[in-house]
Chains A and B, each alone.
Chain A
């Protein structure tokens, strides 16, 4: 079981997260997968400087035992809070999109945006010549 360590689990979680992130089209599921990728990064950074027989980085530790490196843990602490904040913010954006296009499917949303854009462009084309005409008349 030597291969079963924190880094291996982190890699598997990363693979699952990226696969779901690319394959699934639902925006909420994409956000969940993004959270999974983020957690795998956190697990990876913690476990590269840790081995099972090590003590937690809190003094006083047992005499003669090695202490896990506290630096990656301090680094990762910020990632957890930022992850929470970013997840909340992107959920708000998903809520706004759902309110406007009534779907969480990203392909449907793209399609709706493109039709909207095309309609806007046609309206612009119908408006612009008349503006040109009025300008010519005023000259």
Chain B
């Protein structure tokens, strides 16, 4: 009986979703008008309009997004660190082909992540995607030289303290324009000509900070899952 009700509900929901397509085709006609976009680009100095929006006009949202990400990382670490660690368990065996190809691929992936974060205001990319790409580079690094080696090197660089400091630094960067008599959340560094590398220095700075934050947060989630994977 319960199963019948559940299946009926599922089918009804799916039909309702498809019905929206059939009866009310919701495709909007227009894109952006070019005048608006050009004005947006000259105001922020970034030619990638998506990052001009989320690090310019909607910086408030991005700030809270970073905070939500931080809270999720804290939650993962809090619940996983109370479980017994499986460091003594046998290391995950990797085939030689995977090891060798990961060794070639991980520097390239890390550099790609750095590039995406640095040029996020001029070309496709940005701090979030750059951070995630660099974190997958770290995962490839783990595959090639082993998780404990990578962990020792990174925690030797003080990466955990950096993780807790970065949200504070981002908040300070957002609040600091008040000291110069400008409204809060406005751009900290001067805006130059659109299309140059230093044309929008504050978006560049925020992209790099957010990229670092996402890289370290993703690495910590990955490490917590590898370390406390448990035994089946």
Tell me the A residues contacting B by CB distance below 8 Å: 3, 5, 7-8, 11-12, 14-16, 18-19, 22-23, 47-51, 54, 56-61, 66-71, 73-74, 77-78, 80-82, 84-86, 88-89, 91-93, 95-96, 99
Contact = CB atoms under 8 A, between A and B. Distances in A.
* A-B pairs with lowest CB-CB distance, top 10: A85-B72, A15-B14, A70-B49, A74-B53, A22-B10, A59-B47, A74-B54, A57-B49, A66-B31, A78-B65
B54 to A, nearest CB: 4
A28 to B, nearest CB: 13
Please classify the interface of chain A as helix (H, G, I), strand (E, B), loop, or mixed, using the class held by over half of its residues.
helix
Contacts of B126: 77
Most chain A C-beta atoms within 10 Å of own C-beta, residue among B10, B25, B29, B123: B10
14 contacts: A11-B18, A15-B17, A16-B14, A23-B10, A57-B32, A57-B48, A58-B124, A59-B37, A61-B34, A67-B32, A69-B30, A69-B32, A85-B69, A88-B221
Contacts of B154: none
Please classify the interface of chain B as helix (H, G, I), strand (E, B), loop, or mixed, using the class held by over half of its residues.
helix
Interface in B20-45: 20-21, 25-32, 34, 37-38, 41
A22 B9 contact: yes
A11 B124 contact: no
B75 interface: yes
B101 interface: no
A99 B83 contact: yes
Nearest to B3: A23
A12 B11 CA distance: 12
Contacts of B48: 57-58
Contacts of A84: 132, 218
B105 to A, nearest CB: 21
Contact of A59 (B18, B38, B54, B124): B38
Contact of A96 (B15, B34, B79): B79
Nearest to A8: B21
B189 interface: no
Contact of B31 (A12, A22, A59, A69): A69
A70 B20 contact: no
